[in-house]
Amino acid sequence: MNLTPDAGGVFPIAPTPFNADGSIDWTSTDRLFDFYQGIGADGITVLGIMGEAPKLEPEESVGIVKRAAARMPGKPIIVGVSAPGFAAMRSLARQVMDLGAAGVMIAPPSSLRTDDQITGYYAQAVEAIGTDIPFVIQDYPLTLSVVMTPAVIRRIVMDNPSCVMLKHEDWPGLEKISTLRKFEAEGSLRKISIVTGNGGLFLDFEMERGADGANTGYAFPELLIDVVRFQKAGQRDAAHDIFDAHLPLLRYEQQQGVGLAVRKYTLMKRGILASDAQRKPGAALSAKGKTEVDYLLARLAKHDPRARV
């Protein structure tokens, strides 16, 4: 089952569960994928930046993909394959597709500057992994330091038929979605799926601008599902009401560097992860930070009973 441009909905970015000793917690891994399956996630992304992918041994990476495929049957699995060299990218991409992945996600290396460098990089990446593997562009300037204009994204999409999705997390990015959808309406860009990241911080309006869904890792992916469904159903106020209730916590989780610690702590409080451990090197949440998350959860629970932990 390959990923297509018609994909949409919520693809959570899965964290990788670890035990306190740094080994992978496979029990929590299974529980996490079961949880995503249970709440109705439309797919999953593993081995992304928030999945601590560079810290994993090759066999561990493969193990994560196998578990996802086993626990979320029928759901497309996207695998991050960004690597400093095309040899490693190709190896991982071909291996995970054989294991049942639906597509791969490729982030540009931070050294790229000009439009031509960026489009050239994606052309080389496609040549490396093969034109038969559907891929997702990750557009995340804040972390990756690569700035892609809508016209550059259009060139990548039009030059590479295997490009099926944009993980949009430019910031600000609302106008970018509108511009890309205008390109489509004008006929200069073929239809691709646009799913948004950035922790979900603008998901409420991104859906109104034409996004197809969310591809981020907020510790309450149910909220992402709610917002996407309400917006697709035309229930604008309902979408904003539930979004606004979560915004204080969502904003707190969307802190560079410490965000993953907040996410894992919350998932642990929810009983999904056994531990909030990160493999070294990782940014821990301070005792004070934990009390702040607890306070935000308690406030959220007044509006959303799912936050009662």
- Site for a second copy, rule CB under 8 A: 53-57, 60, 83-88, 91, 110-111, 113-117, 120, 124, 127-128, 147-149, 151-152, 171-172, 174-175, 178, 201-202, 204-205, 208-209, 240, 243-244, 247-248, 251-252, 255-259, 280-281, 286, 288-289, 292, 299
> Maximum Cα–Cα distance for the chain, whole Å?
54
For residue 79, the minimal CB distance to a second copy (Å) is 16
| Backbone phi and psi for residue 106, each to the nearest 5 degrees, phi listed first | -125, 120
| CA nearest neighbour of 69 among 43, 41, 104, 95 | 43
Give the nearer residue to a second copy in terms of CB position, either 38 or 54: 54
For residue 72, the minimal CB distance to a second copy (Å) is 25
Give the nearer residue to a second copy in terms of CB position, either 32 or 296: 296
Q: What is the DSSP secondary structure assignment for residue 132, as one 8-state letter?
A: T
For residue 123, the minimal CB distance to a second copy (Å) is 9
Give the nearer residue to a second copy in terms of CB position, either 172 or 187: 172
For residue 75, the minimal CB distance to a second copy (Å) is 27
Q: Which residues pair with 214 in a beta bridge?
A: 10, 196
Tokens coding 76: 């497309």
169 near 140, Cβ under 8 Å? yes
Question: CA angle at residue 85 from 79 to 91, to 5 degrees?
Answer: 50
Give the nearer residue to a second copy in terms of CB position, either 72 or 203: 203
Helix (H, G, I), strand (E, B) or coil at 263: helix
For residue 74, the minimal CB distance to a second copy (Å) is 31
For residue 4, the minimal CB distance to a second copy (Å) is 28
For residue 113, the minimal CB distance to a second copy (Å) is 4
12 near 224, Cβ under 8 Å? yes
Give the nearer residue to a second copy in terms of CB position, either 2 or 241: 241
Give the nearer residue to a second copy in terms of CB position, either 73 or 288: 288
Torsion of CA 299, 302, 303, 306, to 10 degrees: 90
Give the nearer residue to a second copy in terms of CB position, either 164 or 174: 174
Burial pattern 215-247, b for ≥16 Cβ within 10 A else e, equals bbbbbbbbbbbbbbbbbeeeeeeebbebbebbb
For residue 40, the minimal CB distance to a second copy (Å) is 26
Distance CA 294, CA 27 (A): 25
> Please, which residues have CB within 8 angstroms of residue 252's CB and are 6 or more apart in sequence?
262, 292, 293, 296
Give the nearer residue to a second copy in terms of CB position, either 271 or 303: 303
Distance CA 51, CA 29 (A): 12
